[in-house]
Each structure stands twice: as C-alpha cells, then as structure tokens.
Amino acid sequence: MSEEVLEELDLEKFNTSEEGRRRLIPAVRNCRKAQLSGCELSESHCEVVASALKSNPSHLSELDLSDTRLQDSGVKLLSVGLETPNCGLEKLRLKSCSLSEISCSSLASALKSNPSHLRELDLSENWDLQDPDVKQLCGFLESPDCRLETLRSDMEGRSLKSNPSHLRELDLSENELQDSGVKQLCDLLESPDCGLETLSYTSKISLAQLSKNRSENDLSKVNISCSSLTSALKSNPSHLRELDLRGNILQDPDVNQLCGFLESPDCRLETLRSDSISPLQKCLF
C-alpha cells in the first residue's frame, strides 16, 4: 500500500459494493480524515482503525463512524487506540451507533485517559444510553485537560459547568430535558467561564404535535424550560453568536425574556432560529 498520506478517505464516494467499500478500510492507516459512516464494521475492521490510531506517527485527525452499529468488542478495540499517547484524533463522530453500557464504559475510560487532543465529539442519537453511562462520559468532560469545543449529545447538559471554558458549540437537539437537565444547562450558561458561541436546543416534536398530543402540564414544563433558558442567557449574553430554539413553544413571558436577552447591550447574537419569529419582531427590528 502506498505510503502517501491521503487527505480524506470517504467510502461513500466509491461506486462499489458494500463488501468493496469494506476492503478499502485498511487505507485508513494513511489518511487524515476517515469517513466510514454507514459501513458495517467487523471486529477485524475495528482493529484496523485502532491500529491507525495507535501508529507512530498517527495521521488520523478525524474519524466518522456515524450510523454504524458497533459491537462492544469493536468499541473496546477502538478505545484502546484512542487512549494511546500516539493518538491525536481531533474529531470523533459516533452518531447513531447503538452504543451500549459496556461500549460507553470503554469509550469513557479511553477519552478520560487521553483527553487533550479531542475538539469535537458527536454522541447524538444513541438512545439506549442511561444515566450511569452519561455519568461515565461526564468524567471525560470534567478532566482539566479536556479541550473539547463541540459536543453533540443526548446528555441533558450534565456536568458541563465543571469545565466550560473551552466549549464553543453545544447541540442538545431532540432532548426532552428534565428539570435537572435544564438546571445544569442554565448553570453552564450563567457561569462566568462559559464561552459558548453556538447553542442548539431544538425539540424533536413539532409545535402542532405538542399542541395536539401533550397535556397542559407537559406544555407548562416546556414553557418553564424556555423561560429558565432565556433567563440564563440574559444573565451572561456576551459570547453567544448562534441560538436555535426551533420546535419550542414560546409564550409571552418567554418572548419577553428572550427580548430582554436580545436587547441587552452586551448581546452579540448573530443568528436566531425559532418558530416564534413573529412575536419576537418587536425586539428584532
């Protein structure tokens, strides 16, 4: 195999069979960006990717395994690669990988042992993760060596306040945050060390569905969450540049809170996405 280092290996760009794409996986050892999303990886394939992470030097800086059903044994192999000193991976995408409790434990341990290089982590749509799994991953986020800038997950904002200064983008889309999750998120936003620039807090349920299928108590909880969030934003408005609140019902108190944030002289918001733009026009124009 050629020793030339490829900028990117994207298996979806090869017009071949699924088996043909899998035969190309060993090229991951000599590339900087590996797009392996949607490719069913066997244990031996995971071992190849792990060897690319462990190699000296390791060229791999970006790894996308999204939409790949990873087995526990495969994640364990990948974790061994992630925790080696030679690994300099900056972007890791594991969206919709059906991560189990065992996989989560292996991954959390690896990330915690070698946290300084990773800048972007996508763990979204791993619906089977439970609170204990989330707590393990939070150990990585709380490390003083953690330099993570972008996090996409279903983690309800837990333990982000303990080390918020490096985080620039937080995507909690499609999370139905409970009271504890909303409090954690608000604590993060109110922290003087928070430098968050992009926040996505969208709902996976449309406004029409909410109005039709949810009880008044459920709708009240959604409104309280929005109110708490906008209040937190108002208390520390200077860093945020982009805010996505689509799918959230904004009532008059929420609109007033959000207007207070937008009208603050310290507000630097450049992009706002919401299904309630009409009520917000009074403070946007």
Query: What pLDDT score does 107 carry?
Result: 92
Domains of the chain (ranges; CATH) run 1-137 (3.80.10.10), 156-284 (3.80.10.10)
pLDDT at 211: 41
At a CB cut-off of 8 Å and minimum separation 6, what does 4 contact?
A: 30
Q: What is the pLDDT of residue 26?
A: 92
| C-beta atoms surrounding 242 within 10 Å | 15
Residue 121's beta-bridge partner residues?
Answer: 92, 151
Place of tokens 């990773």: 118
Between helices 43-54 and 72-82, what is the axis angle to 10°? 10
Along the 285 residues of the chain, how does pLDDT read in single tens digits? 446 889 999 998 888 887 888 899 999 999 999 999 988 889 999 999 999 999 998 999 999 999 998 999 999 999 999 999 999 999 999 999 999 989 989 998 999 888 889 999 998 888 887 767 777 776 777 788 888 999 988 765 555 656 667 889 999 887 766 666 777 788 888 888 888 999 998 875 443 343 444 444 454 444 546 677 777 888 887 789 999 988 777 777 777 778 888 888 888 899 988 876 666 666 665
What's the sign of the alpha-carbon dihedral 94, 101, 84, 51? negative
Single out the residue of 46, 105, 116 nearest to residue 81, CA to CA: 46
Return the amino acid letter for 248: N
Q: What are phi and psi of 241, to 5 degrees?
A: -110, -30
